[in-house]
Amino acid sequence: MFKLISELLRLKDFEQVKHAIVLKNDTSGTEIMNYKQITIGEIKLTGICLAVPPKSFGANHNLTLYIYKAPLNKETLKKIKNKNFKGSLQLIGKIKEIENEEETQYIEVEFTQFDPQNWKSFYNDYTHAQDTIQDYIEAGEAE
């Protein structure tokens, strides 16, 4: 007759696409190495919007981003602690816009040095995730 319900569950339906970011403010010399303090907002064609701790950046500051696929394993976390960023997608950029709130600073970064191919791949990961959800919705709404 029918399969067991548990056999019909698809793991991929519950998996998210996520990345973790750590960064260095190349202008001030400060850094944010705790990925939990950085949230990605909008991903642009040649830039990215992030939420970071307050007062992390000033206008036109330069920064280097290190982007990792989540979840981060212990080995990667150890490497980051030792300032070894091998395996990350590295991008250099400049602060284009800042919005300051009490508990968060929102920054828009415009890239000045990056690999367009790698960035496109990262960008597409997220459009693909959204497209998949849209496909599932359209399948369910079909009459």
Binding residues for another protein (CB under 8 A): 1-18, 39-44, 49, 51, 70-71, 97, 99, 101, 104, 106, 108, 123, 126-127, 129-134, 136-143
Shortest CB 90 distance to another protein, Å = 18
Shortest CB 103 distance to another protein, Å = 10
Helix (H, G, I), strand (E, B) or coil at 125: helix
**Nearer to another protein by C-beta: 29 or 140?**
140
Shortest CB 56 distance to another protein, Å = 14
Shortest CB 101 distance to another protein, Å = 7
Per the CB < 8 A criterion, the answer to whether 59 and 88 are in contact is: no
Q: Output the CA torsion 128→133→137→138 (10° steps).
A: 10
**Nearer to another protein by C-beta: 29 or 71?**
71
**Nearer to another protein by C-beta: 42 or 115?**
42
| Angle made by CA atoms 54, 28, 18, in degrees to the nearest 5 | 55
**Nearer to another protein by C-beta: 48 or 80?**
48
**Nearer to another protein by C-beta: 14 or 29?**
14
> Per the structure block, which two tokens stand in for 79?
């490497």
Phi, psi of 44 (to 5 degrees): -105, 175
Per the CB < 8 A criterion, the answer to whether 52 and 32 are in contact is: yes
The residues near 101 (Cβ < 8 Å, ≥ 6 apart) are 54
Shortest CB 73 distance to another protein, Å = 11
